Amino acid sequence: MSTKSKDQHARVSYLYQASQLLFRNVQEPTLSRHYISTAKDVSQKSVMRIHPDIKRTICKGCNSLLVPGKSCSIRFEEPSRKNPSIDRVLWICKKCAFKKRFSDKSC
């Protein structure tokens, strides 16, 4: 990993952690969304992938942090007829109503 990519990775990590802190402790969701948006821009410009665990906590519609009970609601969907063994979890953003579906194994 080059020095430039390490710096970009550290910057994205810092922005994500700062947005979590602002959202949970300071109750500043607007600034938190701005930091998430900036972190996504930095990762796209440097062609760096964001870890899937981090992606799962960000709304694609409004760049809000998805915190169960505060900024999103979680529902369990009925198993499909094609794959009855796979359970689905539905995360719904309270700000923009964007829906994210995950298999139960990935959450």
Residue with tokens 């519609």: 61
How many Å separate Cα 100 from the centre of its chain?
10
Nearest in space to 101 (alpha carbons), one of 84, 78, 82: 78
Residue ranges for the binding site?
59, 62, 93, 96
Nearest in space to 103 (alpha carbons), one of 81, 76, 82: 76
Residue ranges for the binding site for Zn(2+)?
59, 62, 93, 96
Tokens (6 digits) for 38: 């900036």
